[in-house]
Amino acid sequence: MIMGNETTNISIQEINDWCSTGATILLHCNKLNPRGDTLQNNSTKFKVLYFDLSNTPLPSDKYQATFKALNKRAGQLGSADKLSDTIKDFIALSQKFCKNEAAHKEFQLLIRKEGKIPVDEEEIKRRKAEEQRREREAAERARREREEREARERAAREADEKAIRERHAREAARKIRKVRNIFLIAILLVGFLLYGAIKYDYIQLDYIESKELLTEAENCFANEEYNDALHYFRQAEKLVSNNKKRRQISDRISEVGKIQTERTNEIKSEIQTFLNTLSKVSFKYGKPVNDIEKTQEKIDLLKKMNPQDPNLKNLQRDLDYHKNRTR
């Protein structure tokens, strides 16, 4: 075969002999190391030569130290040990294949064509074990993240359900009080009918209910549940017949609405600041759990302030994206 201007002469039989002698030495690799050589230098050098010669470029003088060390070991083993001649034959063939770049290329072409490139089974096993270890670690990380995400979602659902139950409980209690008051007023009406004061009784009933609604509205306002507060204020406004009192309630509705707008804008600004910060942070070495939890608390507060806020869905979606990030 011609490589550039140089002619080489490597036969298929030489390829077969090199593979056969190399495989034999590999089976008795421990004999390459002199007694007391805990570093196993000779066997390591042999494996580099055996597994690299057929599939890597030819470096300058890379294998000269290997040839010298193995030849020395073959001499130490002596002619009585068949492995000595096998080592010498293997080295002689390897030196021929490394004689020059043309010889090395022809050797690689022929051994590849014959399908006899040595395979380092131990290295394959090590790589496979390492890959399996990484896969197990990745699966474990994914499992932990999934469990953490599910725990957060479960906590959020439980918080929402608790808030709904509490709101329903307040509404039910208010209705019970209303029924009770109606019952009491009804009893009083019987007496008042005797005195011709039916109209007064109805006014009094509305007054009691409006007073309870205003109290409930102020409680909701104190808890920053502005939507519920506005709802109760408007119900109370409908029941009040006194124009002055109605104007006071109307002014209070405007005031609460303004506070709701200011507070929700403030909270949304804080949430957006957190989200912008998270977008600039790498999760490669771990998630900023505290920042994510604080942002979720702000979003939950915004839900309580105004469940109908049009930005809620997008803000929660952006935060969920950061919760599920891995880098």
Let me know whether 133 and 234 are in one domain: yes
> What pLDDT digit, counting tens, does each position of 265-280 carry?
999 999 999 899 888 8
Residue 3 sits at φ, ψ, to 5 deg, of: -125, 105
Min mean pLDDT across 52-56, 216-220, 252-256 is at 52-56
Closest to 315 in 3D by CA, of 326, 297, 154, 327: 297
CA-closest candidate to residue 110, choices 123, 93, 135: 93
pLDDT at 235 over 80: yes
Q: Which two tokens stand for residue 191?
A: 């007496």
Question: What is the rounded CA–CA span in Å between residue 302 and residue 315?
Answer: 10
Distance between CA atoms of residues 65 and 284, nearest Å: 44
Q: Tell me, what's the pLDDT at 62?
A: 77
Q: 178-224, pLDDT tens digit by residue? A: 878 766 756 645 455 444 454 545 556 667 888 899 999 899 999 98
Last residue of a domain, one of 93, 119, 145: 119
Residues 182, 107 within the same domain: no
pLDDT interval class at 4 (50, 70, 90): very low
182 & 103 share domain: no
- The tokens for 285 are 């070495």
Specify whether 70 is located in the same domain as 198.
no
Q: What's the rounded mean pLDDT across residues 148-153?
A: 88
pLDDT in tens, 162-176: 888 888 888 888 888
- What rounded mean pLDDT belongs to the chain? 84
In the chain, which ranges are continuous DSSP H helix?
12-27, 41-52, 64-77, 82-97, 101-113, 121-194, 198-222, 226-239, 243-279, 289-305, 312-323
Range of the domain at 276: 128-323
The answer to whether the beta carbons of residues 46 and 25 sit under 8 Å apart is yes
Last residue in a domain, options 86, 119, 152: 119
| Confidence band, pLDDT 50/70/90 cuts, at residue 60 | low
Instruction: Report yes or no: 237 and 246 within 8 Å, Cβ to Cβ.
Output: yes
Rounded to whole angstroms, the Cα distance separating 283 from 291 reads 12
> Is the pLDDT reported for residue 110 higher than 70?
yes
Based on the fold, state whether residues 155 and 81 are members of the same structural domain: no
Statement to judge: residues 238 and 271 lie in one domain: yes
| Sign of the CA dihedral with 77 first, then 78, 79, and 84 last | positive
Query: What percentage of the chain exceeds 70 in pLDDT?
Result: 87
- State whether 226 and 317 are in the same domain: yes
Residue 283: what pLDDT?
Answer: 81
* pTM beyond 0.75: no
The pLDDT value given to residue 108: 92
Q: Which of 216, 306, 219, 300 is nearest to 258 (CA)?
A: 306
Question: Among residues 94, 119, 144, which one ends one of the domains?
Answer: 119
pLDDT level of residue 109 (50, 70, 90 thresholds)? very high
- 52, 137: one domain: no
How many C-beta neighbours within 10 Å does residue 153 have? 12
Residues 274 and 172 both lie in one domain: yes
Q: Which of 133-147, 154-168, 311-325 has the highest mean pLDDT?
A: 311-325
Q: Measured between alpha carbons, how far is 117 from 71 in angstroms, rounded to an integer?
A: 23
d(CA 51, CA 108): 12
- Alpha carbon distance, N-terminus to C-terminus of the chain: 53
Alpha carbon distance 312, 322 (integer Å): 16
Q: What pLDDT is recorded for position 180?
A: 80
**How confident is the model over 13-18, as a mean pLDDT?**
96
Number of independent structural domains in the chain: 2
Same domain, 11 and 72: yes
Q: Are residues 315 and 291 in the same domain?
A: yes
Question: Which of 15, 209, 203 is CA-nearest to residue 93?
Answer: 15
Share of the chain above pLDDT 90, in %: 41
- 74-83, 198-207, 232-241: which range is least confident on average? 198-207
Residue 142 sits in the same domain as residue 160:
yes
Please, what is the Cα angle at 307 between 157 and 171, to 5 degrees?
Answer: 80
